Structure 1
Amino acid sequence: MQFILIDKILELNKGSDITAIKTLSIAEEYLKDHFPRFPVMPGVLMLEGLFQTSAWLVRESEDFAHSMIIMKEARNTKYAGFVSPGQTLTIRAAILKQDERTTTLKATGEVDGNTAVSSKLLLERFNIKDRKPDRASLDAYAVRKLRQQFALLYDQAADVLNQSFDS
């Protein structure tokens, strides 16, 4: 099962920073167990939201040059609050440094202006063909699907995608 843990990208400055949101719905299946009388977003999913937001920043900053972005490390992760149904987690991530394979980012999630989660993330980016040359065709497919998902999350990307179809 794949969780998409951001609803919308509000702002993106290539090579710099991103802001996205996730509004927690009581309909989220995992809230039945976490916790029945006090439903809150699990900390690991808050961290996944930080990762997903950060990965979109890296992808767009490099014009989707890599089909794969994985989280290698999460350091100094701190949980300072809960996200309850109806609340919106505002996620911000900023690039601290980048080399040919990895990107380090500082990411935070806030609810009503109060920090709920923060972490320093190390992301690795690569193409499938770099590790499995016989599966090189998967890179183009993955990038195409990622661009489609990005267009749904970020209105400005949807405008560009629609213009390319209109031409």
Structure 2
Amino acid sequence: MTALDKILHLTPGERAVAVRNVTGTLAVFDSHFPRFPVLPGVLILDDIVRTARLAAPGAPSGTVWALADVRRVRYRHFAEPGDQLEITVDVTEATGTSVTAKAAVRVAGRDITTVRQLRLEPAGGDREAS
């Protein structure tokens, strides 16, 4: 459902920075607090995972990185229509079987979401990544 609009920086195995524009035409705003539309936190987390996949080194042949665990997620402020999310993911550890990272999402230089630990693992061939 979500998509990144632009990749600002990419160093596989180290860091990725991406941008997502929150448009007021997203269908989710019809039902997610219609009088005070805010982007659901799960969609912000999905954008973080997408950016983490970019930051991760190449997965073992025939697999993709899938979310395995996320810890210490903090939603500090709302993301509203018209906002531009800047998503930064820094890889803190990478092995052949997992990638651990931390992330921050900012709007106009202000942290709106932080993730202290996110772990990706290779998904099996029969499991589809979003």
Q: Distance in 1 between matches of 2:59 and 2:70?
A: 24
Pair 1:107-2:107 in alignment = no
Secondary structure of the 2:10 match is: strand
Any gaps of 5 or more consecutive residues in structure 1? Answer: 133-137, 143-167
Match of residue 84, structure 2, among 88, 103, 106: 88
Higher strand share: 2
The answer for the alignment partner of 1:124 in structure 2 is 121
Any gaps of 5 or more consecutive residues in structure 2? Answer: none
Match of residue 75, structure 1, among 31, 49, 71: 71
Q: Distance in 2 between matches of 1:114 and 1:72?
A: 28
Q: Distance in 2 between matches of 1:126 and 1:33?
A: 32
- The aligned length equals 128
Q: Distance in 1 between matches of 2:54 and 2:124?
A: 16
The answer for the alignment partner of 1:27 in structure 2 is 25
- Give the residue type in structure 2 aligned to 1:125: P
Q: Distance in 2 between matches of 1:42 and 1:127?
A: 28
Q: Distance in 1 between matches of 2:74 and 2:80?
A: 18
Structure 1: 4+ residue segments shifted above 6 A: none
TM-score scaled to structure 1, two decimals? 0.70
CA contact 1:101–1:126 (8 Å) conserved in 2:
no
Give the RMSD, CA atoms, in angstroms.
2.1
Which is greater in Rg?
1
* Bigger relative contact order (CA 8 A; separation at least 6): 2
- CA shift, 1:65, in A, is 3.9
Q: Distance in 1 between matches of 2:123 and 2:26?
A: 32
Q: Distance in 1 between matches of 2:99 and 2:67?
A: 10
Secondary structure of the 2:120 match is: strand
Distance change >3 Å, CA 53–CA 64, structure 1 → 2: farther
Q: Distance in 2 between matches of 1:94 and 1:65?
A: 23
- CA shift, 1:63, in A, is 7.5
Q: Distance in 2 between matches of 1:70 and 1:63?
A: 10
Q: Distance in 2 between matches of 1:85 and 1:50?
A: 18
